[in-house]
Amino acid sequence: MKKLLMASMVTSCMAALATTASADGTVTVYTAVPQNFIDSLVPMFEAQTGTTVEIIKAGSGDLLNRLTAEADNPVADVLWSVDGTVIDFNPVLFETYEAAGTDALAEGMKPSELWSPFTAVVMAFIVNENKLDGLPIPTSWLELADPKYDDVVSSAKANASGSSYIQLATVLQAYDTEEAGWEVYKGLLSNFVLSDSSGAVPRFVNDGELAIGVTLEDAALRYVEGGGPVQIVYPSEGTAIVPDAMTLIAGAPNADNGKAFLDFMLTKEAQTVVAEQGRRPVRADVASNPALQAISELPSVGYDGAWAAENRKVLVSAWEDLVLDIE
């Protein structure tokens, strides 16, 4: 009788765990998330569920190509931390799933019914005042476009970096007309020292090779918290505050484990780690990293991701023509 009771208890426990994830299963996750999020969050999920996470890390464009090629025989279960327009404009590749915790999201953090948000990414300036040689700290896109900042501003190429493309689209949306935005951006581009890598931008500024960089807020914060001689500045005309996306792959071979992974990433526990890592949490009940300005105080352009995605090919082509003209 005792053995039967024990067996029943084990069965019940396993059934309960299966509603979260299969203890002896796996979940395959395609992601563009920075490595520090993988290192901090994936072990937590594995420890809580007993499920092994297999990570495939690449840029969002490469991941989309891979998902398209695998559409008839999916390998991945989850796409984690990409630009939401990747999902919005390729809906047949994904299965709509509203992760648990959606009811706790902050206002504006659920712009699409096709995916759940993971974090909110913010664009900012990183500034090494010691290398400005008497120049003022720029506080706006317009000021940063002034020729006095020629060759002191680090930026990635908008045709090679997703975050740099968001910065271009942000400037074009920050003014009354797109034409006015292009005039400001032309001045910025004249001042930029371009890099193929978005990760190199804050590093150059922290190391003193350049005085200013246009970068992701959390990338800048890592150098601030590391004791670097840098500070974060938000452009007064407004910046992009954009939730990145995570979702279930259509036909996922381990769909239940994939759903459990998405649920976990929206828990208060996981979102607290997001804040510790310097990204903005998307839950209203989790505060941002105290080293950052309150998100309610940030100047926002009300970034239109759908417009940026629909016009990407045209805008990147125009950017490439502008680079040739300036060179």
Mean pLDDT of 196-222: 93
The yes-or-no verdict on residue 273 having pLDDT over 60 is yes
Q: Report the pLDDT value the prediction gives residue 18, as an integer from 0 to 100.
A: 41
Mean pLDDT of 75-82: 96
Q: Report the pLDDT value the prediction gives residue 253, as an integer from 0 to 100.
A: 97
Q: Report the pLDDT value the prediction gives residue 50, as an integer from 0 to 100.
A: 95
Contact 195, 157 (CB under 8 A): yes
Mean pLDDT taken over the chain? 90
Percent of the chain with pLDDT over 70: 92
> Using CA atoms, how far apart are residues 15 and 22, in angstroms rounded to an integer?
9
Alpha carbon 115 to its chain centroid, in Å, reads 14
Residue type, 286: V
Contact 148, 187 (CB under 8 A): no
Mean pLDDT of 56-72: 91
2-120+243-296 and 121-240+298-326 have identical folds = yes
> 121-240+298-326 — its CATH code?
3.40.190.10
The yes-or-no verdict on residue 304 having pLDDT over 60 is yes
The yes-or-no verdict on residue 218 having pLDDT over 70 is yes
Q: How far is CA 178 from CA 29, 125, 184, in A?
A: 37, 22, 10
| Continuous segment of H or E residues that includes residue 249 | strand 241-249
120: β partners: 243, 280
Q: How many CB atoms lie within 10 A of CB 322?
A: 17
Q: How far is CA 226 from CA 127, 203, 211, 220, 233, in A?
A: 15, 12, 18, 10, 17
Contact 128, 201 (CB under 8 A): no
> 2-120+243-296 — its CATH code?
3.40.190.10
Domain residue extents for the chain: 2-120+243-296, 121-240+298-326
3 state DSSP class of 125: strand
CB contact set of 306 (below 8 Å; sequence gap of 6+):
85, 88
Q: Exposure of 253 by Cβ count < 10 A (0-12 exposed, 13-18 middle, 19+ buried)?
A: middle
Q: Which of 210, 123, 201, 199 is nearest to 167 (CA)?
A: 123
- Tens of pLDDT, residue by residue over 91-122, are 999 999 999 999 999 988 988 889 999 999 89
Q: Report the pLDDT value the prediction gives residue 24, as an integer from 0 to 100.
A: 58
- Tens of pLDDT, residue by residue over 1-23, are 333 333 333 333 433 334 445 54
- Tens of pLDDT, residue by residue over 128-183, are 999 999 999 999 999 999 999 999 999 999 887 878 888 999 999 999 999 999 99
Q: Report the pLDDT value the prediction gives residue 305, as an integer from 0 to 100.
A: 83
Between 58 and 250, name the one with better pLDDT.
Answer: 250
The residue ranges of DSSP E strands in 37-184, in sequence order, are: 52-57, 78-83, 94-95, 116-127, 153-156
Q: Exposure of 163 by Cβ count < 10 A (0-12 exposed, 13-18 middle, 19+ buried)?
A: buried
